[in-house]
């Protein structure tokens, strides 16, 4: 028998005006956060102070994981 688990993830999109790029927040910090973005097909992850980016949008994604098997 399989048991379904529902998961949710929120993706926050940001704009970094100094670099003129868009990215997503990987990890929040008290004074700085990790931001991930692509430039020229290369993926970058940078730490940037929270006052140097603008949160522009967020998307909530939900999915069901039914890959775990349980014996009942």
Instruction: Give percent of the chain above pLDDT 70.
Output: 81
pLDDT of residue 1: 38
pLDDT, tens digit, 9 for 90 and up, residues 8-41: 778 899 999 999 999 999 999 999 999 999 999 9
d(CA 7, CA 66): 11
Burial state string for 63-72 with b = 16 or more CB within 10 A and e = fewer than 16: eeeeeeeeee
Q: Confidence band (pLDDT; 50, 70, 90) for 69?
A: low
DSSP-assigned letters across all residues of 25-44 = EEE--SSEEEEEEEETTEEE
**Half-sphere exposure in the Cβ direction for 47 (13 Å, CA):** 4
pTM to 2 decimals? 0.68
User: What are the structural domains of the chain?
Assistant: 5-65 (2.30.30)
Provide the 3-class DSSP secondary structure of residue 20. coil
């Amino acid at each position: 028998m399989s048991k379904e688990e529902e998961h949710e993830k929120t993706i926050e999109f940001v704009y970094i005006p100094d670099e003129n790029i868009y990215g997503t927040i990987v990890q929040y910090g008290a004074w700085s956060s990790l931001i991930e973005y692509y430039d020229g097909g290369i993926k970058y992850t940078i730490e940037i102070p929270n006052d140097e980016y603008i949160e522009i949008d967020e998307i909530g994604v939900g999915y069901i994981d039914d890959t775990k098997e349980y014996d009942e």
